[in-house]
Amino acid sequence: MPIGLLKLGFNFMFLFKKIAPLQYYLKAERQRKNTIGFVPTMGALHEGHLTLVRQAMQQHECVVCSIFVNPTQFNDTTDLEKYPRTPLKDIELLAKVGCQVLFMPDVSEVYPADVKIKSDFSFGNLDKVMEGAFRPGHFKGVAQVVNRLLEIVQPEALYMGQKDYQQVKIVEEMLTQTHSKVQLVMCSTLREADGLALSSRNVRLNAELRSNAKIIHQTLLQAKEMAVDHFSPKDIQAFAIKNLDIPGFRPEYFEIVDGQTLQPLERLSNGKVPVACTAVWADDVRLIDNMILI
Ligand code: PAF
């Protein structure tokens, strides 16, 4: 039994906290030949997440969204504690867009003490750069939880946002390593009117930082123009780091990488998809963004 059946307007949404009843429900969906699309999230939902749900709903009869703040992907306990949690608002938003199933498990349900959950992933150089270099262990935690959630939900397709480009590539590699048949769908980043990428962390920006945070998208756009004008990755990087270094902001990295291997590119050569990826501190809020440069 779901623990809740929510009705908002004409939409019903089933809310599960336990694996067994969720799987029982999904088995019936499969018997009706319905395909399942899955959107994993950590909650504090915004329009970016809802767009993933809407996209999944266009392609699947049954869409499952999960809300689970995964402790194993936080290398910093303060970051975990400060992570925004807005469960009631999230439930309302999901029901309003017509999401059919919400899975909201506790930590003990995802990581039961008596079950060994696979965590021995190895990503070579993919997780040694950028987010991986600054957040040790982060991607192993992401791979662990996404793999675990996929085992539970067993969807046909998994929807993730391009804003976390490196995360998408890690999950792609994890799916290859586990011989998974799940289709990974990367959806474009949703932005505010001034270009700031939607993120659960944006609510922590004060008015001044929020206004100045548009510098991140502007810098990425300028990087794209420089790439078109054949500037070298090194020159683009030097420009970007300087441009992002405004009062209240501190760029942590700005890299131009091969979109597949995520390794820094020395030149913008044919055949490789260059992606500019950046992480910037706005006071104590860490913002990331990226742009495919061709
Ligand atoms: O991007 C996120 O919100 C999380 O890393 C994910 C994919 C839900 C795994 O916890």
For residue 210, the domain's CATH number is 3.30.1300.10
pLDDT at 5: 65
- Contact between 104 and 21 under an 8 Å Cβ cutoff? The reply is no
Quickly state the pLDDT bin for 6 (edges 50, 70, 90). Answer: low
- Read off the pLDDT of residues 50-66 as tens digits, 9 standing for 90 and up: 999 999 999 999 999 99
- Give domain status of residue 193, yes or no: no
- 122 and 56, same structural domain? yes
At 156, list the tokens.
């046909």
Cα of 75 from ligand 1 centre, angstroms? 14
pLDDT of 3 strictly over 70: no
- 269 and 143, same structural domain? no
- Give domain status of residue 194, yes or no: no
- Give domain status of residue 192, yes or no: no
Q: Which residues sit with their C-beta closer than 6 Å to ligand 1? A: 40-42, 70, 73, 142, 145-146, 164, 167
13-33: average pLDDT: 98
pLDDT at 7: 61
Q: Which ligand 1 atom sits closest to the C-alpha of 70?
A: 10
- Give domain status of residue 121, yes or no: yes
Q: Which residue owns the Cα nearest ligand 1 atom 8?
A: 41
d(CA 101, CA 64): 5
In 3D space, the residue among 93, 40, 32, 86 whose CA is nearest the CA of residue 64 turns out to be: 40
Share of the chain above pLDDT 70, in %: 97
Question: What is the pTM for the complete model shown?
Answer: 0.94
- CATH number of the domain enclosing 50: 3.40.50.620
- 65 and 175, same structural domain? yes
Q: How many domains does the chain have?
A: 2
Q: Which residue owns the Cα nearest ligand 1 atom 2?
A: 41
Q: Is 49 a catalytic residue?
A: yes
- Give domain status of residue 22, yes or no: yes
For residue 108, give its domain range: 3-187
- Give domain status of residue 62, yes or no: yes
- Contact between 8 and 92 under an 8 Å Cβ cutoff? The reply is yes
Strands 274-282 and 249-258 turn out to be: antiparallel
pLDDT of 9 strictly over 70: no
- Contact between 168 and 162 under an 8 Å Cβ cutoff? The reply is yes
- Read off the pLDDT of residues 237-250 as tens digits, 9 standing for 90 and up: 999 999 999 999 99
- Give domain status of residue 195, yes or no: no
210-222: average pLDDT: 98
- 149 and 224, same structural domain? no
- 119 and 227, same structural domain? no
Q: How many CB atoms lie within 10 A of CB 216?
A: 26
Of the chain, the end-to-end C-alpha distance in Å amounts to 49
Q: What is the mean pLDDT of the chain?
A: 95
- Give domain status of residue 118, yes or no: yes
Quickly state the pLDDT bin for 227 (edges 50, 70, 90). Answer: very high
pLDDT of 200 strictly over 80: yes
Q: Which residue owns the Cα nearest ligand 1 atom 6?
A: 41
Q: Which ligand 1 atom sits closest to the C-alpha of 200?
A: 3
